[in-house]
Amino acid sequence: MIPDLVLPTCSAVTQERTYWRDRWKAQRLALLESRKSEDNSFWNDKKGIKKHFIGDLNEWREQAETRINGMGIKNGSRVLEIGAGTGVLSVPLAARGCEVIAVEPSPLMGEALTEYQRGQKTREITLIPKRWEDVTREDLGEPYDAVIASYSLMVADIGEAVLKMQHACRGTTHIFWFLTQPLWAQVNAGVWKEIHGTAFYGEPTADCLWQVLYEMGIYAHLSVEGGCNPAYYPSIEEAVTEFHDRMNCTTAEQDAILRTYFARTLAKSEKGYFLNGRALGAHIWWAAVDQ
């Protein structure tokens, strides 16, 4: 469970004040505890990664171009992306002549990124195959004009992660994060207790992250953006199959609960069944010269 924490007073910020940083950590650890038995084989499943992180590249490209334009990154900039995944942002940035260094610990994600980059015939992208927590200053080299983390800071010590981003940046730092719970977490929250008998804790959201930054003396901008494109399933059974591991289901009875839930909640269109809900994201950014 998330421990009760004493709410700070509205006095001047000090370096010692860590209420929101501790709150983030407590929620992340509670989430990890609830999912500790989850099967992580998904990250070694090339088919699954292609489906969920590549999907319809035309839709991803449109969203990527919108984000890049919103960040105001100039062509030819030196850019660091943390948790670059399959290159949704890194490859279009490289296509604009940017020198891109991508931090991505998953071998299959890195493989997909390289494949995407070569297919687009862009400038070469340098890959650092490590978790952000394990990256050293020597790995990073000279400071960057832009440092980006798009839905990738799934760390317990968010303050340490942000400080490392600060040290690497001479221009602007950009974090994209959940303003509301993502749709998959809304599913978990809706049915987890019925399956497991305990509460489900979702990701800490962007309001918490902004408060962490404020405690650190970083006065960031925040803009709201729409959520990601929905995932479609040809049948309810396909949705059950995907969420079986995500929900830590181990029995036929648990699968039946999940099946009943999806039969009640999934919407349907000409593309198939999809999660019917609203999820918003946030673009949080600040300039090094302002801090």
Per-residue confidence (pLDDT) for residue 60, from 0 to 100: 75
What does the block give as tokens for 80? 């660091």
Answer whether 161's CB lies under 8 Å from 132's CB.
Answer: yes
What does the block give as tokens for 236? 């309810």
Alpha carbon distance 143, 157 (integer Å): 22
pLDDT digits (tens, 9 = 90+) for 13-67: 444 589 999 999 999 999 888 766 555 555 566 666 666 555 556 667 888 899 9
Per-residue confidence (pLDDT) for residue 61, from 0 to 100: 81
| Contacts (Cβ under 8 Å, ≥6 apart) of 11 | none
Per-residue confidence (pLDDT) for residue 146, from 0 to 100: 98
Per-residue confidence (pLDDT) for residue 226, from 0 to 100: 83
Answer whether 81's CB lies under 8 Å from 101's CB.
Answer: yes
Per-residue confidence (pLDDT) for residue 63, from 0 to 100: 84
Per-residue confidence (pLDDT) for residue 103, from 0 to 100: 98
Q: Which fold has domain 19-182+199-228+279-290?
A: Rossmann fold (3.40.50)
Per-residue confidence (pLDDT) for residue 261, from 0 to 100: 96
Per-residue confidence (pLDDT) for residue 20, from 0 to 100: 97
Per-residue confidence (pLDDT) for residue 45, from 0 to 100: 64
Answer whether 122's CB lies under 8 Å from 94's CB.
Answer: yes
What does the block give as tokens for 144? 């960057």
Write out residues in the chain with pLDDT < 70, as ranges: 1-16, 35-59, 227-228, 290-291
